[in-house]
């Protein structure tokens, strides 16, 4: 098979599965598009709550998923954008200032590099590193809300930046797993921010929207307002905790509880048929018991509300709780629990909808319109933005170095969808 880098590859190492997407950029009637030419997924038994706990098992899942995608695309994957989404990733908003002395030339790219570097210059605990720095806005001489300050006249340039900080050794472990599976990491990207790119609409980001990505062991979140990311993070709870609650309360196995959840689960007890009974398998092969389906829903509702409460606390800490005019978008496999958007709507008093990847075409993979593909799809969007920033045309014209990468990322967060 030819080794080629012309196609873009994204790898989502989730706690339930590894998902791989290979895409080609297309143009239909002058409109740029993304066409999926390869997709692969494999169950991952090597990652828990977003952290790798077994290198061999993670490598095995990576190999299986990449091989499946490679076979579909007829391409061998050599490099990929990879997501990181452990609950130890932290975000913070930072601020930088630089003094400009260019006479009538105004703000230059070098000034922007300087101010962004100043905003990145925060004290970090040992083993921490900045994974991403996303400009939110610039100000020139106290006049804020500027997306691109180049050539503006003034003496003081300020930048507000959203920083994402990861645990360096854990990120290196992820990259090592990828290498052992024969793939180099082009870049490691924070998963909730990637997912947001695949599922949010421009108007929602402008109004104020919360994206929740409920994976197996974690719940990633990202809040956008005035088109910019204001807060992001990962909580150490996910869909598997719903299952664990059922197993514990109903005294059944985890596997039995998972089947119950997938077949009969809902988090709105009021909406399930009160008389309907479901069989709960007993541990050890004894006779199964029957419980009301509404009881199942009560247990799942309690966990969903706890998760929403923890997210609300995060929003309140960041001062964003009152800004949900664009509503809530739920993604990740856990979002498929029946009734979750309705419950979110009641809990947060705003609109809520499912988020599936938007704007992809595929002749080979019709199943992409599913929330478990959102992170891989968002990583692809990130990859497209980064490759554009790296292309010689863009570099000559308007972007270079860190400003190029970060500027392009900011533009991606503002322009896509």
Closest to 215 in 3D by CA, of 398, 374, 407, 393: 374
DSSP assignment letter at 281: P
240 lies in the site for ligand ADP, by CB under 6 A: yes
Binding at 17: pick from ligand ADP, Mg ion, none (beta carbon under 5-8 Å per type): ligand ADP
DSSP-H helix ranges across 251-318: 254-264, 293-317
**265 contacts which partner out of ligand ADP, Mg ion, none, CB within 5 to 8 A by kind?**
ligand ADP
Site string for ligand ADP, 287-326 (x = CB under 6 A): ----------------------------------------
Distance CA 220, CA 199 (A): 14
CB of 128 to ligand ADP, least distance (A): 23
CA dist 7 to 40, 42, 225, Å? 15, 21, 32
Q: Rule CB under 6 A: is residue 17 a binding residue for ligand ADP? A: yes
Please identify, among the stretches 10-18, 161-169, 381-389, 406-414, the one whose residues bind ligand ADP according to the rule CB under 6 A. 10-18
373 neighbors 336 (Cβ within 8 angstroms)? no
Lookup: tokens for 194: 């990637």
Nearer to Mg ion among residue 14 and residue 341 (C-beta): 14
Cβ proximity to Mg ion: between 138 and 373 the closer is 373
By CB under 6 A, the count of residues binding ligand ADP is 20
Task: Provide the minimum distance between the beta carbon of 17 and ligand ADP in the complex, in angstroms, as a whole number.
Answer: 5
Q: Is 61 in the site for ligand ADP (CB under 6 A)?
A: no
Q: Please say whether the beta carbons of 374 and 213 come within 8 A.
A: yes
CA dihedral 392, 398, 402, 403 (to 10 degrees): -170
What span, in angstroms and rounded, lies between the C-alpha atoms of 302 and 325? 25
Strand partners, 39: 21
The nearest distance, CB 12 to ligand ADP, in angstroms, is 7
Among 337, 344, 405, 406, binds ligand ADP (CB under 6 A): 337
Which range binds ligand ADP by CB under 6 A, 15-23, 74-82, 140-148, 312-320? 15-23
Q: How far is CA 234 from the centre of its chain?
A: 10
Of residues 45 and 120, the one with the C-beta less far from ligand ADP: 45
Question: Which residues in 8-59 belong to E strands, given as ranges?
Answer: 8-13, 17-28, 31-43, 47-48, 51-52
Question: Which own/partner contact pairs does 238-244 have at CB distance under 8 Å and 24+ positions apart?
Answer: 238/15, 238/49, 238/214, 238/332, 238/334, 239/16, 239/214, 239/215, 239/332, 239/333, 239/334, 239/337, 240/15, 240/16, 240/216, 241/217, 241/303, 242/300, 242/303, 242/304, 242/334, 242/337
Q: Tell me which residues in 366-385 interact with ligand ADP (CB under 6 A).
A: 372
Binding to ligand ADP by residue 262, rule CB under 6 A?
A: yes
The Cβ of residue 104 has, within 10 Å, a number of other Cβ atoms equal to 6
User: Interface with Mg ion includes 14 (CB under 5 A)?
Assistant: yes
- Dump strand ranges (E) for 313-408: 327-331, 352-354, 360-362
Q: Which CB sits closer to ligand ADP, 96 or 215?
A: 215
Binders of ligand ADP in range 197-226 (CB under 6 A): 215-217
Write the binding mask 210 to 229 for Mg ion: x where contact by CB under 5 A, - elsewhere: -----x--------------
User: What is the nearest approach in angstroms of Mg ion to the Cβ of residue 345?
Assistant: 23
Q: Is 410 in the site for ligand ADP (CB under 6 A)?
A: no
Q: Work out how close the CB of 74 gets to ligand ADP at its nearest, in angstroms, rounded to a whole number.
A: 26
Interacting residues with Mg ion (CB under 5 A): 14, 215, 375
> Which residue ranges make up the site for ligand ADP (CB under 6 A)?
14-17, 215-217, 239-240, 243, 258, 261-262, 265, 332-334, 336-337, 372
């Amino acid at each position: 098979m030819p080794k080629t880098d012309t196609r873009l590859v994204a790898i989502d190492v989730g706690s339930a599965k590894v998902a791989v997407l290979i895409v080609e950029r297309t143009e239909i009637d002058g409109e740029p598009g993304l066409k999926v030419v390869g997709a692969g997924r494999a169950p991952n038994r090597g990652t828990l709550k977003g952290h790798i706990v077994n290198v061999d098992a993670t490598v095995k899942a990576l190999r299986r998923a990449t091989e499946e995608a490679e076979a579909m695309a007829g391409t061998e994957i050599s490099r990929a954008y990879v997501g990181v989404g452990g609950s130890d990733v932290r975000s913070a908003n930072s601020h930088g200032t630089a003094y400009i002395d260019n006479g009538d030339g105004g703000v230059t790219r070098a000034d922007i590099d300087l101010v962004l570097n100043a905003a990145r210059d925060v004290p970090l605990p040992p083993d921490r590193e900045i994974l991403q720095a996303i400009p939110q806005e610039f100000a020139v001489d106290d006049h804020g809300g500027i997306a691109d300050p180049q050539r503006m006249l003034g003496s003081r340039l300020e930048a507000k930046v959203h920083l994402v900080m990861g645990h360096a050794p854990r990120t290196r472990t992820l990259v090592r797993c990828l290498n052992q599976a024969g793939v180099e990491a082009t870049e490691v990207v924070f998963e909730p921010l990637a997912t947001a790119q695949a599922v949010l609409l421009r108007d929602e980001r402008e109004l104020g929207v919360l994206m929740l990505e409920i994976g197996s062991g974690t719940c990633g979140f990202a809040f956008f307002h005035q088109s910019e990311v204001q807060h992001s993070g990962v909580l150490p709870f996910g869909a598997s905790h719903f299952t664990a609650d059922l197993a514990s309360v109903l005294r059944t196995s985890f596997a039995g509880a998972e089947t119950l959840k997938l077949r009969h689960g809902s988090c709105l007890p009021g909406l399930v048929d009160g008389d309907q009974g479901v069989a709960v398998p007993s541990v050890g092969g004894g006779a199964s018991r029957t419980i009301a389906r509404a009881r199942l829903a009560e247990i799942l509702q309690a966990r969903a509300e706890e998760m929403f409460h923890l997210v609300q606390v995060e929003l309140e800490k960041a001062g964003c709780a009152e800004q949900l005019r664009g509503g809530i978008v739920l993604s990740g496999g856990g979002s498929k629990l029946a009734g979750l958007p309705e419950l979110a709507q009641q809990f947060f008093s705003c609109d809520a909808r499912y988020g599936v990847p938007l704007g992809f075409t595929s002749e080979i993979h019709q199943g992409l319109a599913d929330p478990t593909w959102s992170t891989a799809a968002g990583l692809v969007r990130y990859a497209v933005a980064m490759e554009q920033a790296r292309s010689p045309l863009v570099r000559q014209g308007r972007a270079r170095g860190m400003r190029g990468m970060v500027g392009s990322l900011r533009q991606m967060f503002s322009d896509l969808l």
